[in-house]
Structure formats: C-alpha cells, structure tokens
Structure 1
Amino acid sequence: MRRGLTGEKIETLWGAGTGGTFWFGPDGLWPSGPSWLEVVVERCDQWLRTYGAPEPEPEPARELADTVAAEIRTMTAAVPERLDPGHAVADALLRCVQVSPDLAFRWSLRIARQRGWPLERSQYERLVALGEQFEYGEFIVSDAEYLTE
C-alpha cells in the first residue's frame, strides 16, 4: 500500500472521503499522506502486538479488481467536473484498485456517500452483489442506497 499509492493519491482519497475536514500540508492536520499512513500502520501494528492477529480470511479482492474498476468508472463518469476537478478522485480510486481492490471499493462507497454522487438502481444492485463477494457486513454497501433516490 505504501509503495503503491503516491502521497498525492493518498491525500486525494483521504480528503474526498472525509469531506475536506482532514487535510495535509503545513497548515493541515498532518504533514503528508504518507506520514499519516505510517501512523495508521504503526497503530495497527501496536494493536496486533497487543491482541494478536486474527485468522486470515480468504481474499477474493485480486480477482475482483476489474469489476471494482468498472464500477468506479461507471460511478465517476457522471460526476460533474466541479465535484471532481481534473478527475483527481476518480484517478486516485482507479490507482487504488491496482494496490487493493477491497480498499478502493470501500473508498468509492465512502466518497460517493460523502459527496452525494448519484447511483442508478441497477448500479446499486451490482454494488450490493460486489459487497457480498467481498463478504462485507450488511451496512457497508446498503448505507449508500439513499443515493439511488
């Protein structure tokens, strides 16, 4: 993850997913996306040392990369330029798919909810099916259903 996403992509995803309430740089909450990611990794490592690692679950993520990328393309195609200048968020999500399709799918759902990106009912149903393939809990995808209205 740390080697697969540039600092700019990390910052773009984090900023979009938090609605701009978490920013980076000299005036931000954190110096850079990579430094923030290092803290996240450090905290996760501390937790694992304290509580132990859970049993690994089968990861269907790699085989779902093309499907996740297609849904992200569909989701972001209708987003007006003013809501994603230069398609920076769409590009960051598609790069994230190459690193972790699971994380890219979760980010796309969070960003769609945060930014109010509309979804067609048929796409929402595909997203639900994709969430089932990732073995997500019931609310990971269903929290975005209101975007179909």
Structure 2
Amino acid sequence: MNIPELILAEGFASSTGNGANPSVAAELPALNAAKGRGRRGGKAPTLQIEATSGDVDQDERPCDPDPLGSAKPKPPTSKTEMVLKKLRSAKGATLEALREATGWQAHSVRGFLSGTVRKKLGQTVASEVGKDGARRYRIETPHKAK
C-alpha cells in the first residue's frame, strides 16, 4: 500500500471531497497498475548497479599531498595526551589550564586525575599550592636509586 492509499485507508482524507483531491484518489489504481503493481502493492522496484572493471584513470586517483612524509612532530591527538603532557612538565599544570585545554568542567578534570591518571595509569599525581596561591598538579617521576 502506498502513502496516498494509506492516507485514504486510515481516514485522514477521503476521496469524496472533505480535504482530498478526488481526481488523485480516482487515479490511484491506475498509477499502481502503471508501476506494475496490483491493488495490494507487490515488490518495490530495485536499483540495479553495474559493476566496473576496477580500473581507475590516473587523473581520478586521490593524490597524496605530502608523499615523503612530514618532518614536523604531530600535535597530541587526544585530550588524555594533552593533559598528560601538561602534567609531565616541570611546573605541572593548574586546574584552570587543564580546563581550558580540554573544555572539561573542574570536577571532570579532578575525576580524570584521580580515576585515570592515578588508578588506571598508576602514576603518582602531586598536588602543590604555589606562591601565587594556585594549586598545581604534576606527575611525579620515580627517582632512580643510586
């Protein structure tokens, strides 16, 4: 059943003139017959796609903008990598700096430090209040035994 027939069958419109176009309602059986369908519908037509030989012209191939590779180091790709890089610096990072870098809220940053960095990665997170009164977080590197 197609959409116009469904509309008529459900009583949303009628072929008698209260809202529906009677000429369209009268043409529905003829339209379905022209499409090769009976009154009950039948299978919908399928799309036929031809297979190609797989040959692609040289002009159609996408070109590599930098075939030799670039010598530039890649920037950190994830927020986790960005946070860890900031935490490994000698000064560490403030909560506000980590918020700006990630776009997270303060409780999310603290949860990341506790749950991911400390528990999952097994790193020791040091928290110190500097002379400016701002708390800084950093990852402590293990000291080598002498």
TM-score computed with the length of structure 1 as normaliser = 0.22
User: Quick check: which one's strand share is greater?
Assistant: 2
User: Quick check: which one's helix share is greater?
Assistant: 1
For the pair shown, the structure with the greater C-alpha radius of gyration is: 2
TM-score computed with the length of structure 2 as normaliser = 0.22
